[in-house]
Chain A
């Protein structure tokens, strides 16, 4: 019988009380303004308890992590991609790799349902699903020499399920890139300040690339410091440009930006990695970590009050202007990153397992990093909930609903049940030196307004416009990096698939194949971007749900692989650890796809929408928000594409889950028939702490290991 010491009992009681009081205040307050501090308390208290108890239980009872087993980093150490990395460094690497624009955008959009549903899902989702997925995938990939999720699906489920998983991943990548590009188009359109400063990141990155290639190879920190300084200068210079005669050259219409972005994505993806991608990645990583730290400090110092309702009427009525559909299932697909993100499984089965020093560290790196990302999502939700709800809806409703003038917007917002005067709307835009904030959908501008509000509380209002553009720049920066990197990954997948048909495609440096596949991938996401920008019903409104479904489908693939592996490795009793999140995720995504395909509410169901607009065309009528017959035809085409896509994605996922289930049942009936492709046990020669701080025993083990085999580690 283990006994806990009184000190630790007291400590964890206090932590539990902090978390519980946060939840109580959030849940019980009605018609009064609540401080964001309670949200932070609920989140941090819950994370601490989940990490201390649930993640420990999974690591030691379910996965049975073994510190005596050598990891791929130790066994296959080649000094480059496989090498044992200090756990604190790897935590930083892994966090920087998983956290991007996702956790910042989703919560902002989901705030239309009020802050409470989002908060509950972000916190409960990460504890029971998201962080579990990241940790379990990381563990199984570590046991398989760092094999990717696609390979694991093929090895452990079968070629059919594996192929479906690969196809799903490719489709998801395309939709992701289209929607992310749409987010920056909406943020940069008609904004000379933003467009100029983002455009400047290209010459800055090129300069850094040449510096690292030719002048001083490998001096990453110094070149990043130079790059970040230039970046901040470009940001300040953006204001001068916006006030000068050059402003016109950088004031771009959305459709012009689409062309620029597609051209950028294509050219960037065929340039050598060192020229643009690598230096841009350094810039965005520095900016990302810096901004997240600043935002956390800002929230804690300013402790703003939440102005959004805890739960809005849109949650039950399902007629929200940001995205249609009711709370279940749409909050759970709108917030993906931050609660449960399928994309993380690609990182957890990519670079990280090749660098992890000890199996015992999967808890800190897999589960811990995801808790950190969840905290970022909570901060984004805070930022969206502290701005005036009237402004929030004026910014996030489709252009066709909001109208073109502040007077129309004020009326439209009143129609949603909120109030904001035309003067206040105009003033809000003026405060951040933008010509208009109406229908700035996509989440990035709303987040930037929230961030500027928080930072302005700390630094004074005169910097508000600077902070707004700082936040826009920071999001646009890593979305551009994602466009480049994502196009490359998509191309790699396509080359692999086409290689089965025509051999030369397999050779990834075959130039014609490279250009063709790059063009195909950019063309595909460019199509969705174009459609999103010209969608009369609002691009984000129509496309974001598909993006959410796609991302959660990838999570379903990852959780299906994890559950199969738990069953096949003799952990049937614990299969619910990932099995229940899988059931939940499948229920959410399949319900959402079902509604998107079959709902008789034209705001939700794509085919219903299609038939209503088609009937109107047949009668020669134009239905608002469409303004012309052309718009009407656009709606019909887009609804058809979106509907077919939703159905196809759902079908893929049903195939993967069914195939996984088949393997599980076969294993339970006849355990000898299935084989597990785990790397054989090799005894580890080194010792390393499992958590952030080394315990007394760990220190002794490290000293003993050093004595046996002196190493040059710091």
Chain B
């Protein structure tokens, strides 16, 4: 693959991952490592559970309009 094409594919992949929040786990781990180096990093499974539990407890999070 040529340079610009590869960049475009990489950009698209980044955008989709960010938009769907697939990158949420990596972002959270990076956040923990940076701010709280001693904290225990949860597994991806545990992290995703925590995320949906949060949505459960406040349904206004991620609410969509008509």
Using a CB–CB cutoff of 8 Å, the interface residues on chain A facing chain B are 77-81, 83, 85-86, 88-89, 92-93, 96-102, 148, 176, 180, 212-213, 217-221, 224, 272-274, 278, 281-282, 285, 337, 341, 343-344, 346-347, 350-351, 478, 481-482, 485, 488-489, 491-492, 508-509, 551, 712, 714
Select one of A278, A282, A343 contacting B65, CB under 8 A.
A343
Task: List the B side residues contacting A281 at CB < 8 Å.
Answer: 62, 64
Task: List the A side residues contacting B54 at CB < 8 Å.
Answer: 80-81
A485 and B31: CB pair below 8 A?
Answer: no
A97 and B21: CB pair below 8 A?
Answer: no
CA distance A337 to B64 in the complex (A): 13
Residue among A273, A344, A478 with the most chain B CB within 10 A?
A273
Task: List the A side residues contacting B49 at CB < 8 Å.
Answer: 213, 217, 274
A712 and B30: CB pair below 8 A?
Answer: yes
CA distance A221 to B19 in the complex (A): 10
B63 and A489: CB pair below 8 A?
Answer: yes
Least CB distance from A220 to B in Å reads 4
Least CB distance from A601 to B in Å reads 29
B45 and A491: CB pair below 8 A?
Answer: no
A485 and B22: CB pair below 8 A?
Answer: no
Query: Given contacts A221-B22, A274-B52, are A350 and B63 in contact (CB under 8 A)?
Result: yes
Query: Given contacts A79-B27, A274-B52, are A482 and B64 in contact (CB under 8 A)?
Result: yes
Residue of A nearest to B56 (CB): A273
Query: Given contacts A219-B22, A273-B52, are A180 and B44 in contact (CB under 8 A)?
Result: no
Task: Give the number of chain B interface residues (Cβ < 8 Å).
Answer: 37
A-B contact sample (20 more), CB < 8 A, given A346-B63, A485-B59: A77-B35, A79-B30, A81-B61, A89-B18, A92-B15, A96-B19, A97-B64, A101-B66, A102-B65, A213-B48, A217-B44, A218-B44, A218-B48, A273-B52, A278-B55, A281-B62, A282-B20, A350-B61, A351-B63, A482-B66
CA distance A404 to B39 in the complex (A): 69
CA distance A243 to B63 in the complex (A): 38
B25 and A218: CB pair below 8 A?
Answer: yes
DSSP majority for the B interface?
helix
Task: List the A side residues contacting B20 at CB < 8 Å.
Answer: 220-221, 224, 282, 285
Number of A-B residue pairs having CB atoms within 8 Å of each other in the complex: 119
Q: What are 20 A-B residue pairs whose CB atoms fall within 8 Å in the complex?
A: A79-B31, A80-B24, A80-B54, A85-B18, A100-B66, A101-B66, A213-B48, A213-B49, A220-B21, A273-B55, A273-B56, A274-B52, A278-B52, A281-B64, A337-B65, A341-B65, A346-B63, A350-B60, A350-B61, A351-B62
CA distance A97 to B65 in the complex (A): 6
B14 and A347: CB pair below 8 A?
Answer: no
Query: A-facing mask of B35-46, CB < 8 A → 1, else 0?
Result: 100000000110
A212 and B48: CB pair below 8 A?
Answer: yes
Least CB distance from B50 to A in Å reads 8
CA distance A85 to B48 in the complex (A): 19
CA distance A274 to B55 in the complex (A): 9
Residue among B32, B55, B63 with the most chain A CB within 10 A?
B63
B52 and A97: CB pair below 8 A?
Answer: no
Residue of A nearest to B31 (CB): A79
Using a CB–CB cutoff of 8 Å, the interface residues on chain B facing chain A are 14-22, 24-25, 27-28, 30-32, 35, 44-45, 47-49, 51-52, 54-66
CA distance A278 to B49 in the complex (A): 12
CA distance A343 to B62 in the complex (A): 13
Task: List the A side residues contacting B25 at CB < 8 Å.
Answer: 218
A508 and B57: CB pair below 8 A?
Answer: yes
CA distance A477 to B42 in the complex (A): 34
Task: List the A side residues contacting B57 at CB < 8 Å.
Answer: 508-509
CA distance A278 to B21 in the complex (A): 12
Task: List the B side residues contacting A482 at CB < 8 Å.
Answer: 64, 66
Task: List the B side residues contacting A212 at CB < 8 Å.
Answer: 48
Select one of B56, B59, B63 contacting A347, CB under 8 A.
B63
Residue among A98, A337, A485 with the most chain B CB within 10 A?
A485
Query: Given contacts A81-B54, A88-B15, A272-B52, are A218 and B24 in contact (CB under 8 A)?
Result: yes
Task: List the B side residues contacting A101 at CB < 8 Å.
Answer: 66
CA distance A82 to B3 in the complex (A): 35
Residue of B nearest to A284 (CB): B64
Query: Given contacts A100-B65, A102-B66, A347-B63, are A78 and B31 in contact (CB under 8 A)?
Result: yes
Task: List the B side residues contacting A712 at CB < 8 Å.
Answer: 30
A714 and B14: CB pair below 8 A?
Answer: yes
CA distance A148 to B47 in the complex (A): 26
Least CB distance from A57 to B in Å reads 26
B65 and A347: CB pair below 8 A?
Answer: yes
B16 and A217: CB pair below 8 A?
Answer: no
Task: List the A side residues contacting B47 at CB < 8 Å.
Answer: 217-218
Query: Given contacts A83-B31, A278-B52, are A100 and B17 in contact (CB under 8 A)?
Result: no
CA distance A79 to B54 in the complex (A): 13
Residue of A nearest to B28 (CB): A79
Least CB distance from A78 to B in Å reads 7
Least CB distance from A612 to B in Å reads 33
B58 and A492: CB pair below 8 A?
Answer: yes
CA distance A221 to B18 in the complex (A): 10
Task: List the B side residues contacting A509 at CB < 8 Å.
Answer: 56-57
A221 and B63: CB pair below 8 A?
Answer: no
Task: List the A side residues contacting B64 at CB < 8 Å.
Answer: 96-98, 100, 281, 347, 478, 481-482, 485
Select one of A80, A88, A347 contacting B51, CB under 8 A.
A80
Task: List the A side residues contacting B66 at CB < 8 Å.
Answer: 100-102, 176, 180, 337, 341, 343, 482, 551
Q: Name the 3 nearest CB pairs between A and B, nearest first.
A: A79-B31, A488-B59, A220-B20
CA distance A472 to B24 in the complex (A): 32
CA distance A75 to B21 in the complex (A): 21
Task: List the B side residues contacting A344 at CB < 8 Å.
Answer: 65
